[in-house]
Structure 1
Amino acid sequence: MIMRTGRKYVCLLTIIALLLTMLPFGIVQAQSAQYSPFHDVPTNHWALPHIIKSELRGVVTGYGNGIFKPDQTVTQLEAIVMAVRAMGLENETHNTNQFADTSNYDLPTTWNARGFVSVAIKHSLIDEQTFRPSAGASRAWTAQLLIRMLKMENELNMIASTPFEDDNYIPVWAKPYVALAVDKNIISGIPNLSGSYDYRPNDAVTRAQLSTLISRSDRYMNDVSGQLPIGIVKKIEGNTLTILKPDNTTESDARVTNTTAIYDQSYSYISQNKITVEDAIRYQLSSSGNLRYIELIDKNYYDNLPVIEKVNRLQGTLVQLYQEQRLMIVEQEDGRLYTGTYATDAEIEDLEQGRSISDSNLHIGDELELILGDNDIVGIKVIKSSQEAVLSGVIFAIDIERGILTLENNNRYTSYTFDDSVSVEYNNIRFATVRDLRKGDEIQIQTEDNKISKITLITPYQSNEYQGTIVTISVRDEVITIITAESDPVAYRTNSQTEYKINNVNNPKLSDLEIGDHVIFTVDGRVIKKLEVINRNLQDEIRGKLLNINKDLKMITIETLDEEYKTFKYDDLLDVYIDGNKDGRLDDLLLDTNIAIKIDKNTIIRITVNNQIAGTIVGLDKNRNTMTVEHDNRTTTYELSNNVEVRMQDIRRAIVEDIKLGMEMVAKLERNKIIRIDIKYKYSSIVKTINTDWDRIEVIDPDNSNDTIRYYVYEDVVIIFPGIEDPELADIRVDDVVELTFTGYELSEIRVVPASIGNITSIEASTNEIVVRNRNEVERILINNNLNIYSANGNQISAPNLNTNDFVRVQRIGDKTNVYLSSTQEVEFFSALGNRIYYYDNNGNYRNLALDREALIWQSNTFFLPGDIQQGAKISLYTFNNRVLGIRIH
């Protein structure tokens, strides 16, 4: 009985649905209501629009039978699955070749959990050490996930605060992420009893909440795979929309139905009649053309939306006309210039004469009304013809006896009549006449009643050869601007008769030219007749193995990297560079040596031999006596000479067996065989003494901290000091951490590893970390056996002896970290001059200390410069080795 009743109910619904489809759209729309695809998400659920959108995108799925479970909490594993899908990376989860090591996690095996975790690790969505798959995804942790999903970590403000009342309860590591997510309008707070908002960082997010957060992130993820498209509503006809897409194609016949989910920018449900033309929307269209989802979006967040050009009218005066390009420039009443092209079928009408005309009947000075279409001018109406048209062009022909002058302008030819009354202005000729004009002159004419009344010379005809550099190219207008040694940039026209010559370019044309080309050109009037590019003769380097030198024929044969045999001529001006020495000779070259040659007009002008390579050892075959090296963006296998020399700084009398794959090295070649290998070796230490007179540096022996090792710093040693341009040995200070690089037995590089300074903000027992804030970031120091902490007196202490707000200096030495507590004194500030700070101590004595250039000066959460401190201010000085590294203003 119950089943029969159910069938009657279903049939009744079917009949009603069929009746609705036959009603006019407006009636259907008025009767339709918000639709939910899930039984447990009612139509008034606050997260319904986000759940629908996330489900359409495939970010979330239901549990079958129309169940979504919106209030179920999300684990960290479930959260990264949603984030990976939102980023359009789900296909990557099936690439087992790139799976990361996930053996540390207890992951489900009934679905591809390992693939999602691997992608999350690859794209830095999670921290491998702290990721807990089955733990609830807290609101603090989720904020970090969202910012990483949007790849916005570079926008983090490490000292930012949030607007929430429970800001102090948000973990220090999470606060920058929460603050940025709030700033991006992704995260909002939870109302509290005081009328303010809390964040509740430790609460776990629910499926509805995470769907909402990812949905709000859409505006920052327009380019990801699977994202719902965006567009502009171009036309509305009944229940059908025409949508203009970012690529300027359209979705036509996109139908709104009674189950279409439609929301405004605040995600409130609206009816279809709230959608207007030019609204920006995000939408989802079914294969049958029905719109499943529409969301009005804020255009300010999208820079790739198309623009619908309105059809409107514009009035002004014609100031220039290019008939070949169908381009006109019109000056409007307010003085603004409108530049536009007119369609080939544009209707041109002369209102004074009441007839249609062609563009050849338009004249400079005509008063026009333009009808503007989507992309160009679709109609031109001449309101008032110019009484005195002004035209310009090059004289193509002049018949003085018959009084006919023909002008050429952009390959269009127009003839005009003139008589003895015509006025001619021709350079400095006092009483010029038409007989002073000649073919090729560029002129401007004024006409009245279709007869020339005045001729003004613009540029006299010239036919000479010039040399210069191209500064602009307009392929559309067929104009090239060239600057020569004798003149300012000059614009020249080209045409179909212009001859081009460009080395290694078959059938060159105008579009093959490039800005910066050096050219020799010949002009006829202002039209370029011939143009040759002279700076493209020199080819890129050709690399290969030297096979033969024939001095009699002055020919060299090489085998290229493509295993082709090529022979080139060389001349007496040939340059030979060997290992950077430009005084090499052909006799110095050995056959089977790798060389690089440069060619000019099929003649070798330079040979470069580099008998030294630097790279990483990726293969070593002791049986075949070969070594494979990755260098210069390629991998090459070299033969080792029988008595190859191996030099390693940490191993005396090293042999090939001491070499390990992955080592960096510099090798010396002879006839393409490696004869010497200098292995690169690095270690970090602390500077004990600097002697600039003897160019020496002493560092602590990494194997015995009671001993020091001395090195001479020769001219070829590279010194790198972040923040200092062209650093010298004198820039390095005692107690600096340095990374020393040796090539073979020789010191080749000193890299200073700057210490960081700041105050301790917290010591987190849960993660076993010390958190230090400096000017730009928050540094997290893991408490382990590689950490050494020293008091201001130099005594080694343990982490529990540290306190919040202690000022510390942090040094990273390889895998070890040293933390030094500063000496502290409360004093009265007097002044800061140069690199010293002047103050009164507690006994009223006037004193001064050196002020480090990296010193931090702050009050609360704001940083200052020395000149910002007011005289008489109470300050705390934090010092190391009698240098001020920190100043806190009270």
Structure 2
Amino acid sequence: MNRIKRTIAPFTLAGLLGVQSLIVPVLAEAASVSGGKFSDVAKSHWATPYITKMSLRNVVAGYEDGTFKPEQKVTQLQAVALAVRNMGLADEAEKYKNTAIPYTVPTWAKGSVALAISKGLIKPSEKNFSPNEYASRAWIAQLMVRMVGKESEVGSSVETTVFTDAADVPDWAKEYVKTAASLGLVSGYLENGKYSFKPNYAVTRAQIVSVLSQSEKYIDVTSDTTQIGSVESITGSTLSITNSAGAKQSYTLTNQTKFYKDSKEITSAVVDADSQVMVIGTNGKANYVEVLQNKPTKPQYTTVKGTIEKVFSEAKTVVVRLSDEKLQTYTISDSTAITSGSDKLQVSQLVKGDQVELSINADGKVVELKRTNVSQEQAMAGTVYDIDKTTQLLTIKTAAGKLEAYQYTDATYIEYKNKRFPSVEDLLPGDSVKLEVNNGSITKVIVADSTANTGETSTVKVISAADKFIALQNDKGEMQAYTIAPSATVSLNGAIAPTLADIKVGDKVEVKIENNVVVSIAIKNRTVQGSNSLLSGSVFALDTTNRVLSLKGSNGELRAYEVLPTAQVLLNGNAKSLSDIKKDMTVSIQLNEDNKIISINADNRLRAEVVYVDTDNRLLTVKLETGETKVYVVDQNADIVIYDISGETLRDLRVGDKIAMKMDTSKVTAIDVEKSYVYRATDNNSSYTTRITAQNEQGRSRDLIIDNGVTLTIPGIAYPKVSDVKKGDVLRVTYLGNTLKSVAVVPSIYGQVTQVTPETNKVVVKDLNGVTNEMTLGYGSSIQIGDRTYTNLTSLVPGNRVQVAESANGAKSIIVLSQVDTTFTSLDPLGDRIYTAKGSYYLPDSLFNRQTQLQTLLNSLRKNDKVTLYFLNNELYEIARNQ
């Protein structure tokens, strides 16, 4: 993150490397003090501004007796915990508390240490972290450099300060100290006109907060309580600023509000308009204001203009063709102002062809998007708003809500399905139309109702309830794929509230489509009326004495049926008695001609989503498939199964987990957790029709057996087979407990890394078509380089060739391709092999499909030309010429 640089006076020892100020979890006796005031920190204390600020930011706290103990030394463990909090990752650290770590630390610190390892703050292989040892100035220098994401500069930093005791700095820390000094994170002791560093001195609590303050210019410290922006005005008791996102924010000033500049307390009267400030406040009141720079520094924006090529509404992303014909991808945040004239728009209202102007701040974020011209295609499509037959004027309302008027003539042709000899007279307000215009006059009006019923019966070829996807084949053999609306209705005669799960491949259906999305599906070839009808739902109630079962459909509809004494009862495929059927079980029942139950097939694994886990009382709150939220008691000996994890307990469940629960009376006795993982196919074992060999993100190989119980999905292939999975394909593999349930080939992006921003966890990748993709690496992302896996973005560098695939919950799985730098010798006469100074390599067909200009490149190569070959899973993936 590039933030405006602040001018802060060099520290002496007291202002150099600070030891961690105590945070609540670090010591049990720690206690927060209102307003950052502590009884043992005088107003004149050199560290008062830093202690005040870090206390208000909830990074540090004091003791229950109201003291701060500024001269107390800090341990390495406390320093790490403080660094995690300063980065704003305290909540994320909680997710790591059950992660195994190679250190013995208190329970409260496990999450912080595990997260610090994943972020590269601590590297166990260095054997340089001793939790209970005091943190030396040299050790803190390393920690701070890593915390601000500048480890890539270690070894290349210019030495800005020559320390007289540089020889005393441990070898492992020399370059870190040099980098920390060049970044302004550390300084030294002024002695006889020269500076010493004293690398082995332990840092104190007062010192650490000052160093953390220095680090703020390199990390994003903004939060719900902390904002950075330029001053718009200070009027009376009100401070107004414009933050980095371009949004205005106002604060109330009180007699408790502290103003600081260059570590000295000032008054609001000396704060100039347009000064850049940090404001810490709650409930609209400012508690702390620090002037970062007094020069007018209104946010500087870069303006780009172009035409929209593609809109991804759900991802809030637009692809824009710039004036130089290059394609650029932009992410639209919730704070981005999207306008068209005086109208405010949503991302979904933008369409291909719209001309736009984007304002981009110094961090590369889009703060404003203006639509300067509506797509011509969009401007001539909409619904009829008015027809003035006197002036022959047709006015339509576009999808953006704008009215557009066009002249029609007696020669205007009207295309209206199912109407003979249509004319303008047949047009009605609300009709969906598309206009063709020539020289300002309408030549053709095409009427196409946005609500369409295909009117014909199609055959279901692919149906995925989870992905809301259906592929149909009409009677002409033509295939068409559709997205199914979340609220789509399914009708099947005789079924209680049928769902997408009731639709089978081969069913004959009629579908209703609105805006290219299926809104209803009617199954025509099957019925469950009369004899042998099959119904499904959940058990609402069961009277075993009178043998009456009440069935509840997904829409909440209740129906009661008598269970015949001779009825077959199956539970998970095993013969059981009626008393084994329990409330909320998912069941299928078969009726006879008298609508009495002759068969019950039950699954006592209740499907649900975790809402809350109370581990102390062993209570599990879940949302059932019916939409109901219920609380269940989990048996003390309940068997909890999560794939690839051993010794699972209730504490391993996470909010949002999809689970299947087994019930015994009112208690949960077993829980299978659904988990998805990212694998890459390394071999589809063509000699086996059901086996795929794949490698996970940790480099471990697994055989995936695709039997009848496993769903295999491959985009664009209606009936995928194992042989359709190709080496290198990225797979999303889903397990329910230890049972493999589905394998899906997921799209991936291949290209060259052009930008890496560790501070914001963002990476920019340009694919082989020149499209730029900016991606944020969410929690759980991994980067695989050779046989090692990293979680820190600093392991990527511009120029890397990478394959990026979606993992889970916003995480990304990235593989960095291996490369061979060599010189070109010749091509095989058959054109399927390249010879280089380092060997010959086979050119697979997939390489030409992926790199469309490859043949031109190969034809242009001359002997001794420098080339780089990139490999994925030992297969040649790209060839690049080096200048």
Structure with larger RCO (C-alpha < 8 A, sep 6+): 2
Larger Cα-atom Rg = 1
Name the TM-score, length of structure 2 as normaliser: 0.39
